[in-house]
Structure 1
Amino acid sequence: MRLRPNVRITGAERHQLAQLVADRYQAGEPIRTLALSLGRSYGFVHQLLEEAGVELRHRGGDNRKNVTTEPAASTGAEQ
């Protein structure tokens, strides 16, 4: 779905677009990808998501290292 550039979207049309964008975002699509597919800016899509009440994901995903709580297995070569 590509929107006409420089056209203000208001009322019911904006509400429908916000719901569509929210559904796609919650399905895992990034904001930048949504913006490209709509032909709109990142900020426009971000604003639509806020209007739709969507909880935004943090940037970059999970950055924690894979930490194990178990001690390393013994090799039997210990003295």
Structure 2
Amino acid sequence: MPILGGGREKSADYIWLHESTEQFLSKKQLCDLFREVGLQNVTYRSFMFGSCALHTGIKKPCFAAGREAGKPQ
């Protein structure tokens, strides 16, 4: 990440960026987590040569007392 991180020198301002990306879930692991919490049609799309991704999922409808939750009566 030298281009994004301010050059080749090990600037303390950008060390956190490298460390946090190393610790974050992979794209597949994040998709699996989305599915574990109940999201459907989980997908992701990579941007910037794979350096970032947009994950999407659809929440199952929630029904309460015969009507869809969150809708006015």
Give TM-score, length-normalised by structure 1: 0.25
Q: Whose helix proportion is higher, 1 or 2?
A: 1
Larger RCO (alpha carbons 8 Å, 6+ apart): 1
Q: Whose strand proportion is higher, 1 or 2?
A: 2
If you compute each CA radius of gyration, which structure gives the higher value, 1 or 2?
A: 1
